[in-house]
Amino acid sequence: MDDKKVERLGRKVLDAFTRRITDEIFLYLGRDPELLREYQELVQEYSAHGVNAALGKMITRAYALENDGMERRPVSPLLKKYSRHRLDWKKVTAKDGKAIRKSPYDDGNLFAEKKKKRRPAAPRPKAPKKQPGAPEQADLFATSDDPSGDTESREK
């Protein structure tokens, strides 16, 4: 068997399927009565756009795909448009042909949020040291007739 020919066919099939994977998943959703009922309840509670966008993001992350433009003529009646996807074959396979790309859900938790990298907190500036002979802060607001900085006597 010619492995190169099989690989070319496999890439063609996976590229074509990946491009329309969102449409295929929504077609599947529309054919399953229980899933469709749950989907419709969520659409009533939130909105079709909100539910579809959330599911679309999950598809992208679950299969570690990259966005590749917009499809404006979906087959699924549940969609008005959706993001097409593609595989980055350089990331999917190494030179020896072994898979190297992992899904962010390889730990089995599909619904977990991506962990964001935290930046270290910026160091806070230190308060300047008091210079000998510098005026007290209350003195900064004192008027020439009240050198003590007593503001209560001015408010009366």
Taking alpha carbons only, the member of 2, 29, 1, 24 closest to residue 13 is 24
User: pLDDT tens digits for 25-58?
Assistant: 999 999 999 999 999 999 999 999 999 999 999 9
User: pLDDT tens digits for 96-114?
Assistant: 555 545 555 455 454 455 5
Tell me the pLDDT of the chain averaged across its residues. 77
Task: Return contacts of 8-14, CB within 8 angstroms, 24+ apart.
Answer: 11/89, 14/87
Q: How many other β-carbons are positioned within 10 Å of the β-carbon of residue 47?
A: 11
The more confident residue out of 147 and 6 is 6
The H helix count followed by the E strand count for the chain is: 7, 2
pLDDT at 156: 47
Q: How many other β-carbons are positioned within 10 Å of the β-carbon of residue 85?
A: 23
